[in-house]
Structure 1
Amino acid sequence: MNRHKLIKLNLSIGILLLTLFSAIPHVLKAQKDTILPDTKYLNINPLNYPTNLRTFDDTTLNRFHLFDPLKSFDDFYTSTAGTGSPYFSNKHRLSENSLHFPAANVPGLFLTFPENISFFNTKTPFTYLYYVQGGKNLQQLNVLHSRNINPLLNFAIAYNLMGFNGFYYHQKVQNSNFHISANFRTPDEHYMLFAAYSADKYIQNCNGGISYEDFRLLNWQRRLVAPVATESASQKNFRKTLFIFHQLNIGPKDSAKKGNLYLGHRFSWTKNAYQYLEENPLNACYPFIFYDSTATNDSIHWQNIENRIFLSKYGSQSEIPIFQAGFIHLASITHLRQLDSNLNAFLAFLHGNIISGKFILKYDADYVLSGQNKNNFHIDIQPLLILSDRYALFLKSAISRKAVPFYLQYATLNHLSWENHFLPFSESSISLGISNLKNTDYIDFQFINLKNYVYVNTDLSAIQSPASISLAVLSMLKKLRIGHFHFDNHAVIQYSSDVAAYPLPSWMLNNLTYFKFNLFKNNLSLEAGIDCRLTASWHAPFYYAPMNIFYVQDSISVPFYPYGAVFINGKIKRGRFFLLFEQPHQYLFKENSTFVIPNYPMTPFNFRFGISWSFYD
Structure 2
Amino acid sequence: MRNLIVLLFFLSFSLNAQESDSTKVVELKADIKLYKTFNSEKDTIYIDTSLTIQDEYKYNYLKKDNFGLFSFSNEGYLFNQLDFSRKRTTTLPQFGFNAKHSTYLDNSDIFYYSVPTPLTDLYFKTVMRQGQSLDALISVNTKPNLNFTVAYKSIRSIGDYFNNLTSSGHFRFITNYNSINKKYFLKVNFVGQDIYNQENGGVKFIEQLDGTNPSFSQRERVDVYFNDASSKLKGNRYFLDHSYQFSTGNSLVLKHQAYYENKFYEYIQATESPRLGDSPNSSINNKTRFDVFYNKVGVSFKTKNLGEINFFIDNYSYNQFYNVPEDASFNPSINYSLHNRINNVGGQYEFNQNKWNFNILLQNAISNQPTSNYEAFAKYKFSEDNFVKISAQQISKLPDNIFIFNQSDYVNYNWNTSFKNEKISILKAETKNKWFEAYVQLTNLNDHLYFFNTEERIDSLVVKPFQYDKSIQYISAEIAKEIKYKNWALDNRIKVQEVQQDEKILNLPYLVLRNTLYYTKPVFKKAMLLQTGITVNYFSNYYADDYVGVLGEFFVQDQTKVGGFPVLDFFVNARVKQCRIYLKAEHFNALFTNKVDYYNAPNSPFRDFHVRFGLEWNFFK
Query: 1:327·1:347 contact (CA, 8 Å) conserved in 2?
Result: yes
Query: 2:93·2:398 contact (CA, 8 Å) conserved in 1?
Result: no
2:229 counterpart of 1:233: yes
Task: Write out per-residue CA displacement over residues 443-483 of structure 1, whole angstroms, 9 at most, x where no aligned residue.
Answer: 32222111111111122121111211111112222222222
Taking the aligned partners of 2:63 and 2:578, their CA distance within structure 1 comes to: 24
Taking the aligned partners of 1:163 and 1:323, their CA distance within structure 2 comes to: 47
Task: Write out per-residue CA displacement over residues 25-62 of structure 1, whole angstroms, 9 at most, x where no aligned residue.
Answer: 555429742533555344342xx347xx7643343445
2:379 counterpart of 1:384: yes
- Aligned pair partner of 1:408 in 381, 387, 403: 403
Distance change in 2, residues 1:58/1:316 (3 Å): farther
Task: State the match for 1:4 in structure 2.
Answer: none
Task: State the match for 1:426 in structure 2.
Answer: 423
Amino acid in the other structure paired with 1:127: T
Task: Write out per-residue CA displacement over residues 297-343 of structure 1, whole angstroms, 9 at most, x where no aligned residue.
Answer: 2121101111111234556599xx73433121111111156521112
Instruction: Name the stretch that deviates more: 607-616 or 32-41.
Output: 32-41
Distance change in 2, residues 1:132/1:192 (3 Å): same
Query: 1:565·1:580 contact (CA, 8 Å) conserved in 2?
Result: yes
Query: 2:393·2:427 contact (CA, 8 Å) conserved in 1?
Result: yes
Task: State the match for 1:542 in structure 2.
Answer: 546
Distance change in 2, residues 1:419/1:273 (3 Å): closer
Amino acid in the other structure paired with 2:236: K
Task: State the match for 2:107 in structure 1.
Answer: 114
Taking the aligned partners of 2:88 and 2:45, their CA distance within structure 1 comes to: 28
Shift of 1:270: 0.8
SS class of match (1:408):
helix
Shift of 1:180: 1.1
Shift of 1:514: 1.2
Amino acid in the other structure paired with 2:297: I
Distance change in 2, residues 1:209/1:138 (3 Å): same
SS class of match (2:525):
coil
Query: 1:121·1:154 contact (CA, 8 Å) conserved in 2?
Result: yes
Taking the aligned partners of 1:399 and 1:22, their CA distance within structure 2 comes to: 54
Task: State the match for 2:364 in structure 1.
Answer: 367
Instruction: Name the stretch that deviates more: 110-119 or 347-356.
Output: 347-356
Distance change in 2, residues 1:137/1:64 (3 Å): farther
SS class of match (1:107):
helix
Instruction: Name the stretch that deviates more: 98-107 or 546-555.
Output: 98-107
Query: 2:530·2:572 contact (CA, 8 Å) conserved in 1?
Result: yes
Q: Quote the RMSD (CA, aligned, Å).
A: 3.1
Distance change in 2, residues 1:582/1:27 (3 Å): farther
Amino acid in the other structure paired with 1:124: T
Instruction: Name the stretch that deviates more: 197-206 or 210-219.
Output: 210-219
Task: State the match for 1:124 in structure 2.
Answer: 117
Task: State the match for 2:331 in structure 1.
Answer: none
TM-score normalised by the chain length of structure 2? 0.87
- Aligned pair partner of 1:601 in 599, 602, 605: 605
2:470 counterpart of 1:467: yes
Please show how residues 61-100 of structure 1 align to structure 2 within 5 Å: 61=52, 62-69=54-61, 73=65, 75-93=67-85, 95-99=88-92
Please show how residues 168-317 of structure 1 align to structure 2 within 5 Å: 168-211=161-204, 212-216=206-210, 217-219=212-214, 221-251=217-247, 255=248, 258=249, 261-281=252-272, 284=273, 286-289=275-278, 291-312=279-300, 316=304
Amino acid in the other structure paired with 1:454: L
Query: 2:194·2:235 contact (CA, 8 Å) conserved in 1?
Result: yes
- Moved beyond 6 Å, runs of 4+: 11-24, 101-104, 387-390
Task: State the match for 1:3 in structure 2.
Answer: none
Task: Write out per-residue CA displacement over residues 372-414 of structure 1, whole angstroms, 9 at most, x where no aligned residue.
Answer: x22x111112223457897543322211112222321232323
Amino acid in the other structure paired with 1:515: Y
Taking the aligned partners of 2:525 and 2:95, their CA distance within structure 1 comes to: 50
Instruction: Name the stretch that deviates more: 234-243 or 127-136.
Output: 127-136
Task: Write out per-residue CA displacement over residues 498-556 of structure 1, whole angstroms, 9 at most, x where no aligned residue.
Answer: 35111111111122221121123333112111121101011111110111111111111
Task: Write out per-residue CA displacement over residues 168-227 of structure 1, whole angstroms, 9 at most, x where no aligned residue.
Answer: 111110011111122222211211222111110111011110032333355473211111
Query: 1:131·1:610 contact (CA, 8 Å) conserved in 2?
Result: yes
Taking the aligned partners of 2:259 and 2:29, their CA distance within structure 1 comes to: 38
Query: 2:392·2:428 contact (CA, 8 Å) conserved in 1?
Result: yes
Task: State the match for 1:509 in structure 2.
Answer: 513
Taking the aligned partners of 1:18 and 1:42, their CA distance within structure 2 comes to: 24
SS class of match (1:224):
helix
Task: State the match for 1:330 in structure 2.
Answer: 316
Shift of 1:285: 5.5
Distance change in 2, residues 1:128/1:508 (3 Å): same
Shift of 1:600: 0.7
Taking the aligned partners of 2:208 and 2:339, their CA distance within structure 1 comes to: 46
Query: 2:80·2:600 contact (CA, 8 Å) conserved in 1?
Result: no
Task: Write out per-residue CA displacement over residues 576-614 of structure 1, whole angstroms, 9 at most, x where no aligned residue.
Answer: 111011011223568556212111111110011111222
- Show structure 1 runs of 5+ residues with no match: 1-7
SS class of match (1:297):
strand
Amino acid in the other structure paired with 2:341: N
Taking the aligned partners of 1:141 and 1:398, their CA distance within structure 2 comes to: 38
Distance change in 2, residues 1:353/1:516 (3 Å): farther
Amino acid in the other structure paired with 1:334: Q
Instruction: Name the stretch that deviates more: 309-318 or 415-424.
Output: 309-318
TM-score normalised by the chain length of structure 1? 0.87
Instruction: Name the stretch that deviates more: 474-483 or 72-81.
Output: 72-81
Query: 2:72·2:80 contact (CA, 8 Å) conserved in 1?
Result: no
- Show structure 2 runs of 5+ residues with no match: 324-334, 455-462
Shift of 1:352: 3.9
Instruction: Name the stretch that deviates more: 606-615 or 95-104.
Output: 95-104
State the aligned residue count.
Answer: 591
Instruction: Name the stretch that deviates more: 195-204 or 63-72.
Output: 63-72
Taking the aligned partners of 2:89 and 2:618, their CA distance within structure 1 comes to: 34
Shift of 1:158: 0.8
Q: Kindly, what percent of the aligned residue pairs are identical?
A: 18
Amino acid in the other structure paired with 2:351: I
Amino acid in the other structure paired with 2:498: Y
Query: 1:87·1:107 contact (CA, 8 Å) conserved in 2?
Result: no
- Aligned pair partner of 2:576 in 568, 572, 583: 572
Distance change in 2, residues 1:389/1:144 (3 Å): closer
SS class of match (1:292):
coil
SS class of match (2:217):
coil
2:491 counterpart of 1:491: no
Amino acid in the other structure paired with 1:519: V
Shift of 1:294: 2.1
Task: State the match for 2:536 in structure 1.
Answer: 532
Distance change in 2, residues 1:22/1:191 (3 Å): closer
Taking the aligned partners of 1:274 and 1:101, their CA distance within structure 2 comes to: 13
Shift of 1:98: 2.0
SS class of match (1:286):
helix
Query: 1:235·1:274 contact (CA, 8 Å) conserved in 2?
Result: yes
Amino acid in the other structure paired with 1:474: A
